[in-house]
Amino acid sequence: MTPNPGILRKFELLVLRPLFIAFLGSGIVLALWSHWWLAAGCVLAVAYLGTIGSKLHPLQSAFADLGGAQCGYCTPGILMTAKALLDREPNPSRERIKEAISGNLCRCTGYQQIYESIEEAARTMQESKR
């Protein structure tokens, strides 16, 4: 679903720009621009990863089935990193997965279940394209 550019432009001119000027130099500006990017559909949040038809994304299913998510603290970051990886490389190697998520820290799983979950999601996504 693509937002109507005319409506977004009016919103920017009538609401965001005056607020941006009023709060210039404040941390509130970042929050306002973040909200605009979300409204414009430029940012994908983990909460909306698998909401099409109330079906989980293959990454979410694999993490749930294989124990890739335990306490849940690191899960959103790892899911979004893994999605970006799979969007660029549909069939990454284990080494490539390790490299891609190296910036995400997990203290629960030891990473084995995370790697397996991403590999399973990649297989599932490849099978669904056939």
| Model confidence pLDDT, tens digit, residues 38-67 | 555 555 667 677 765 668 889 989 999 999
58 and 95 inside one domain: yes
> Which residues form the domain of 23?
5-43
Report the domain count for the chain.
Answer: 2
SS (H, E, C) the chain: CCCCHHHHHHHHHHHHHHHHHHCCCCCHHHHHHHHHHHHCCCCCCHHHCCCHHHCCCHHHHHHHHHCCCCCCCCHHHHHHHHHHHHHHCCCCCHHHHHHHCCCCCCCCCCCHHHHHHHHHHHHHHHHHHC
Asked whether residue 72 falls in the same domain as residue 122, the answer is yes
Instruction: Indicate if 20 and 56 belong to the same structural domain.
Output: no
Same domain, 29 and 57: no
Q: Is the pTM of this model over 0.85?
A: no
Same domain, 57 and 18: no
Tens of pLDDT, residue by residue over 3-39, are 555 555 554 544 444 444 444 444 444 444 455 455 5
Residues 73 and 112 in one domain: yes
